[in-house]
Structure 1
Amino acid sequence: MFKGIYVQRTPHGVHGHRKASFVAASVVIMLLGASSVAFSQVTAQPQIGGGQETLQGTSSAPTAVLSLARAIELAMEGNPEVAAATRQVESTEGQVLQGRARPNPEIAYSLEDTRSKTRTQSIQLNLPIELGGKRAARTKAAEKAREQAQAQLIELKATVRADVAAAYFDVLTAQERLALARDSASLAKSSTDTVAKRVAAGKVSPVEETKARVAEAGIRVELAQAASEERNAMSRLSALLGRTTTMFAVLEGRADDLPAAPKLAELQTMILSSPSVVRARLEVDRRQALTAVEQSKRVPNVTVSVGMQRANEMQRNVLLFGVSVPIPVFDRNQGNLLEALKLEDKARDELQAVTVRMYSDVAQAQERLVTIGAEIQALQQDVLPGAKSAYDAATIGFENGKFNFLEVLDAQRTYFTAKSQYLKALGEAHRAAADVDRLLGAPSNPGPIATQN
């Protein structure tokens, strides 16, 4: 890691080595007034890192340190979408219970003639008997629905886990960017004071002081934007944890703790067991079970009856026995069976589509991760050291009167742009790794990026 861009984070704040970057401003003097207002808003916001400070209007002190593992655990416990999906899984137990239920018996009563002497009364018990394996087919369909709901919950948890990992590192990256902007603003103020002294001594033109103040105003605007991005990243992470306020102050880890980029062949072997493919395969199984339910309905049920009849005129009781069977002449459930068969074919087509899309999405995410890893290596090894060296040389030369302020400003702008590109690449790398985790349902695996194909 290049020493010039190393950032150390402690529970008491975010500190960095001396960094500086000025943004060359072609803005007019209006920027001075706007930037001063924005800077006053930034200084009014609570800062990250103070264990006794509150964030986003939180009434109680935030917790000291939040690790990625703890953040994922909190999301699984408090995320409302995970809670809703869990309730959905629990509700499918009712479907299984109902599928196992047998049809209820019936009691029938009839009365012939209202005159007491000639009255005939009958009472009988009707017991439906399901044939064709209806109960077993219905139970299997309910069990497949339960398995599918469980697969949906697993898929949602993988998505939430990946989103939390991406948001977690977004906060770390935003904190790095905010620390850079703060150091840049501090150095911009120092440079402006230096130029003002040299102008007062008659060594440089007053135009140099104007340029320095405009550049300082531009960096104050960048500081306000960095602070806003950091607060937004905190808010997104808190929402994923199921909280409306930020209850943490310091995140454990570093933005440059990059995940490994495994080989594409290794990822492709995991596709068939990924949550999306498993859920699509279970949908095929469920549709097959529903087709079996519709096929079982083609076999009519039998109703067995037993009862007693009493005729008052004859003063005797008569036992009754009966069997009723529907005759499937007109309705053989052919329409419902055809629909079930077509939906089963549709589920197979969707499984094929999901599998193909997964291969494409995983390949793209892995390629993006490898490409960003190569970009980060180039920035670490070549771009950032060169930009830092040029900036240091320009600063020393300016202090010794060998360079004008415009050259220093250009060197600062180059270094600031390179460092911003580096931080952006870090965020993209973590999002690409989160996409791979979301697609495959695997947890994040921190480690150095390796550019493998």
Structure 2
Amino acid sequence: MTSLLKPLTLAAILFAAILAPAAAQHDAPLTLAEAIELALRANPALRAAASEVAAKDGALAQAKALPNPELEVLREGQRRERRATTAQLSIPFELGGKRAARADAAREERGLAALALADLRVQVRADTSAAFYELAAAIERHRMDQELAALAARAAEAAAKRVEAGKVSPVDETRARVAQAGARIEVIQAARNLESARIRLAALWGGEGASLQIALPAGDLPPAVPLPQLAARLDQAPAMQRARAQLRHREALAQVERTRRIPDVTLIVGARREGLDERDQAVVGVSLPLPLFNRNQGALLEALRRVDKARDEEEAERVRLQSELAQAHARLRAALEESALIAAEILPGAESAYRAASRGAELGKFGILDVLDAQRTLFQSKTQYLNAAAESHRAAADIARLTGTSAVQENP
């Protein structure tokens, strides 16, 4: 028993040593590049798609297999001197290129599964990028709401002291307490949104979002590539490649049904022995189905109509991609324009108003509620900028998903 436990203990120690660096690395804040790499490596849907590609390898090998011959032994009669025994081997020969057509269809089906895997990788990359920037924006919103709640608490305390001193009306204290409660509610909502953002990002690799920490990006906004330049990439987009592969697969299946109209030939060879003294007699024959009633015309017609359907679906997919690309590009441009407007005009004015209110409060010209209002206006402007920036990254991720390119800006 001791000799059995020693190898198991050693294996456990080695396994823990292997996992220790990975766990330490997982505890460190994730950069965008690391999050994408982790999602591409551990995403459950990607693993399932890879298994499907492996399964299609087996289907392709099966499609290339030759049909099995059949061995038949027939005994006639009960008495030995009158007994007849026939042994024959039936060897089928597929005519009309059935095996080649079947292999082509399986090969196209495997290619379709491989393209589905590649398309899913592009989607996972784009979803990870969008979720990463969503989490970064949620972290910043939560931080600002906490600062605003702290300022509201100080304002409520200051208002209470001034009421006790008889300098202001109790209404000011009530307003300060209401503002404090509203700020606390916003902190709770921001914390909930932050938790949801962590869960969404960690779900892309099947991880836990409670302890997820990320390295905040630099804050650069994605570039706005001209729409005609993006539209030119749609022809090689993963969705278009899948639509074309689906059409080729349907055409290959139609060819399989076309070859089935040609009957196969079965060659029969064997020997027959009758009685005690009779010699073996050779048995040679040919079996050929007569296509009088079933010429596979219905299955061929169905396959041809599905080819037409796949061709129409290819065109519909092209129209859909062009429409969604134009919408995503319009969203990106609008988000970038909104971000630029807020950064150039709104934020400077809100910061100037907050500084003026702070100086006025120090000189006794303004109350603490005025400072709180100015601070809230500044934070609302920053929140608008964060929302616009997050929308720009979402639109860029959608463009990357549609075109099959990478719109990732990695933090150095």
TM-score (norm 1): 0.82
Which whole-Å deviations, capped at 9, do the CAs of 1:157-191 have from their partners, x for residues lacking one? 11111111111111110110011111112222222
Identity within the alignment, %: 45
Counterpart contact for 1:127–1:305, Cα < 8 Å: yes
Counterpart contact for 1:302–1:323, Cα < 8 Å: yes
Find 1:380's aligned residue among 343, 346, 362: 343
Equivalents in 1 of 2:97, 2:349: separation in Å? 77
Q: Return the offset for 1:252.
A: 4.3
Find 1:326's aligned residue among 285, 289, 308: 289
Find 1:342's aligned residue among 305, 323, 327: 305
Q: Return the offset for 1:416.
A: 2.6
Which whole-Å deviations, capped at 9, do the CAs of 1:374-417 have from their partners, x for residues lacking one? 00000001001111111221232233232345544443332232
Closer, same or farther: CA 419–166 of 1 in aligned 2, 3 Å? same
Q: What is aligned with 2:3?
A: none
Q: Return the offset for 1:357.
A: 0.4
Q: What is aligned with 1:31?
A: none
Equivalents in 2 of 1:406, 1:120: separation in Å? 113
What does 1:4-83 align with in structure 2 at a 5 Å threshold?
63-83=27-47
Q: Return the offset for 1:430.
A: 1.2
Q: What is aligned with 2:14?
A: none
Q: What is aligned with 2:270?
A: 307
Find 1:368's aligned residue among 328, 331, 350: 331
Partner SS, residue 65 of structure 1:
coil
Letter in 1 for 2:144: L
Equivalents in 1 of 2:177, 2:75: separation in Å? 105
Query: Comparing 399-408 with 319-328, which one deviates more in the overlay?
Result: 399-408
Q: Return the offset for 1:251.
A: 2.3
Equivalents in 1 of 2:160, 2:286: separation in Å? 108
Partner SS, residue 214 of structure 2:
strand
Which whole-Å deviations, capped at 9, do the CAs of 1:117-174 have from their partners, x for residues lacking one? 1222111111000000000000000000000001111111111111111111111101
Closer, same or farther: CA 81–447 of 1 in aligned 2, 3 Å? closer
Q: What is aligned with 2:132?
A: 168
Equivalents in 1 of 2:221, 2:85: separation in Å? 85
Partner SS, residue 371 of structure 1:
helix
Q: Return the offset for 1:209.
A: 2.0
Consecutive unaligned residues in structure 1, runs of 5 or more: 1-58, 449-453
Partner SS, residue 65 of structure 2:
coil
Partner SS, residue 129 of structure 2:
helix
- Asked if 1:241 corresponds to 2:205, the answer is yes
Partner SS, residue 266 of structure 1:
helix
Counterpart contact for 1:257–1:447, Cα < 8 Å: no
Letter in 2 for 1:215: A
Closer, same or farther: CA 62–323 of 1 in aligned 2, 3 Å? closer
Equivalents in 2 of 1:237, 1:351: separation in Å? 32
Q: Return the offset for 1:205.
A: 2.2
Alignment RMSD (CA, Å)? 2.0
Counterpart contact for 1:258–1:447, Cα < 8 Å: no
Equivalents in 1 of 2:206, 2:375: separation in Å? 41
Find 1:431's aligned residue among 381, 385, 394: 394
- Asked if 1:278 corresponds to 2:246, the answer is no
Closer, same or farther: CA 247–90 of 1 in aligned 2, 3 Å? farther
In the alignment of these two chains, the number of paired residues is 389
Which whole-Å deviations, capped at 9, do the CAs of 1:231-283 have from their partners, x for residues lacking one? 111111111121135453232424x2222121101111110111111111100
Counterpart contact for 2:141–2:190, Cα < 8 Å: yes
Q: What is aligned with 1:179?
A: 143
Letter in 2 for 1:187: L
Partner SS, residue 66 of structure 1:
coil
Partner SS, residue 251 of structure 1:
coil
Find 1:156's aligned residue among 120, 131, 135: 120
Letter in 1 for 2:188: A
Q: Return the offset for 1:439.
A: 1.2
Equivalents in 2 of 1:361, 1:245: separation in Å? 31
Q: Return the offset for 1:71.
A: 0.8
Consecutive unaligned residues in structure 2, runs of 5 or more: 1-22
Find 1:265's aligned residue among 217, 221, 228: 228
Which whole-Å deviations, capped at 9, do the CAs of 1:84-110 have from their partners, x for residues lacking one? 111111100111011100100011112
Equivalents in 1 of 2:410, 2:216: separation in Å? 15
Partner SS, residue 147 of structure 1:
helix
- Asked if 1:293 corresponds to 2:242, the answer is no
Q: What is aligned with 1:116?
A: 80
What does 1:386-405 align with in structure 2 at a 5 Å threshold?
386-404=349-367
Counterpart contact for 1:61–1:247, Cα < 8 Å: no
Q: Return the offset for 1:444.
A: 2.5
Which whole-Å deviations, capped at 9, do the CAs of 1:264-318 have from their partners, x for residues lacking one? 0111111011111111110000000000000000111001111111122552111
Which whole-Å deviations, capped at 9, do the CAs of 1:47-75 have from their partners, x for residues lacking one? xxxxxxxxxxxx99961220111111111
Q: What is aligned with 1:12?
A: none
Equivalents in 2 of 1:69, 1:417: separation in Å? 30
Q: What is aligned with 1:47?
A: none
Counterpart contact for 1:118–1:311, Cα < 8 Å: yes
Partner SS, residue 249 of structure 1:
coil
Partner SS, residue 248 of structure 1:
coil
Q: What is aligned with 1:135?
A: 99
Find 1:356's aligned residue among 319, 330, 339: 319
Q: What is aligned with 1:206?
A: 170
Equivalents in 2 of 1:61, 1:361: separation in Å? 38
- Asked if 1:100 corresponds to 2:100, the answer is no
